[in-house]
Amino acid sequence: MSTFDRVINRTGTGAVKWDNIKAVFGVEDALPMWVADMDFEAPDAVKEAVKKQAEHGVYGYTAIPDSTREAIQGWMAERHNWNIEPNWLLFSHGVVPSLGTAIEAFTDLGDSVLLQSPVYTPFFDMIERNGRLVVNSELVLRDGQYEIDFEDFEEKLSREEVKLFLLCSPHNPGGRVWTKAELTKVAELCQKHSVLIVSDEIHSDLTAEPHKHTPIAAIREGFQDMVITCIAPSKTFNLAGLQSSAMIVPNGELRAKLQKALAKQGFFTLNMMGIAAMEAAYREGGPWLDEAIEYIRGNVRLVKEFIESELPELTVIEPEGSYLVWIDCRKLGLSDEDLMKKLLLKGKLALGQGSKYRAGGEGFMRMNVACPRSVVEDGLTRLKTALSNE
């Protein structure tokens, strides 16, 4: 039996995924397959690093050591063929705070920020809560995968008030791994119109063969000066609760502006447990991740085969990167509200509602399959029950 088959009881641990069901969905007895964290234990090396740090017993102010920077540097070179410098790294509690910091640093009140919906909900939140305006170039779903409408994308970029573009790479919720050619065209257009890129690459480590993640900043030397790349071990190794992430910022001028914005927030370091976990994950977590990706791909295949056989009115948008399965339910002819009611009240299943990801997400549901296979099987049974006519 795979170690990933083990069902771990997370209730009563403060887990948002399991303990916040009623607060989020209004029910208590639904199986949670919504928020993007895994139900797997972290790698042994991470657990040992956190345990060692805890057993030391002195929990004072902790600087981020050079060894942590070097671990990230090694990971990016090995996994993504990008040779970064340790001094390019800035740290944050998470990618979402990093997005907010970049918006504050590089735009002014009333400026516009470009994104591509349907997309991770905090993209909208960070823009709007910081008093900036959303400009959306909606993605096009064609032949079962999302594509960029480059004509519309450039038209939106050309607007003088657009100062920043938030890129989701790989894409969430659709799971698309953008090709090097697509990313090159995106960067060239942003360069042409003097628009900075903030690239959320938090799902990049979970890319499955034959697809290959390309950091947009690494494509061409000139692109490095206009890109802030956001990474974190949280999705990769299930460490979201330890709140540690990094920004890779080769451009010294941009880095100084981000440091100033971080200082205004009072931020100066990470939680000591997060530092220990981050370093151990990037230094020793590779074999665990390879096994996890293979297991998750098996879960994705299970979902795809079950839906094709048992629920042919639904369509699975198979993820090229990430453990999130984007399910097209539009042929059911149900409103988002009615679909969610069926899932929660009849099927006792909590999925991510597509409309949360704004334009283009209506009629979809997002299913997290980074969990034991028995849980995926249970979720699929519940999905069938929810949509049955009985």
pLDDT at 389: 84
What is the fold of 46-284?
A: Aspartate Aminotransferase; domain 2 (3.40.640)
Distance CA 292, CA 305 (A): 20
Contacts of 145 (CB under 8 A, 6+ apart): 174, 176, 317, 320
Q: How confident is the model at residue 2, as a pLDDT?
A: 77
Instruction: Identify the CA nearest to 262 among candidates 113, 387, 104.
Output: 104
- Look at residue 58 in the predicted model and tell me its pLDDT: 97
Residues in the chain: 390
Cβ atoms of 270 and 72 within 8 Å: the answer is: no
Beta strands in the chain (DSSP E): 31-32, 89-92, 112-115, 133-136, 140-142, 145-147, 162-168, 196-200, 227-231, 245-248, 315-317, 324-328, 349-350, 352-353, 364-368
- Sign of the alpha-carbon dihedral angle for 203, 205, 209, 211: positive
Q: Greatest CA span in the chain, whole angstroms?
A: 63
Tens-binned pLDDT, residue by residue, of the chain (390 aa)? 579 999 999 999 999 999 999 999 999 999 999 999 999 999 999 999 999 999 999 999 999 999 999 999 999 999 999 999 999 999 999 999 999 999 999 999 999 999 999 999 999 999 999 999 999 999 999 999 999 999 999 999 999 999 999 999 999 999 999 999 999 999 999 999 999 999 999 999 999 899 999 999 999 999 999 999 999 999 999 999 999 999 999 999 999 999 999 999 999 999 999 999 999 999 999 999 999 999 999 999 999 999 999 999 999 999 999 999 999 999 999 999 999 999 999 999 999 999 999 999 999 999 999 999 999 999 999 999 999 986
DSSP state of 321: B
Letter string b/e over residues 170-197, b meaning 16 or more CB atoms within 10 A of that residue's CB:
bbbbbbbbbeeebbbbbbebbbebebbb
The pTM for the full model equals: 0.97
Q: Is the peptide bond before 170 cis (omega within 30 degrees of 0)?
A: yes
At 1 the pLDDT is 55
Pairing outcome for strands 162-168 and 31-32: unpaired
The domain locations on the chain are 3-43+287-387, 46-284
Kindly report the CA angle at 6 between 2 and 301, in degrees rounded to 5?
A: 60
User: Strand 349-350 relative to strand 31-32: parallel, antiparallel, unpaired?
Assistant: parallel
Nearest CA-CA partner of 95 in 169, 194, 39: 169
Of the CA atoms within 13 Å of residue 69, those in its CB half-sphere come to: 14
What is the per-residue pLDDT for 380? 98
Span 327-372, pLDDT tens digits: 999 999 999 999 999 999 999 999 999 999 999 999 999 999 999 9
Q: Which CATH architecture has domain 3-43+287-387?
A: Alpha-Beta Complex (3.90)
CA distance 208 to 289: 11
C-alpha of 175 from chain center: 9
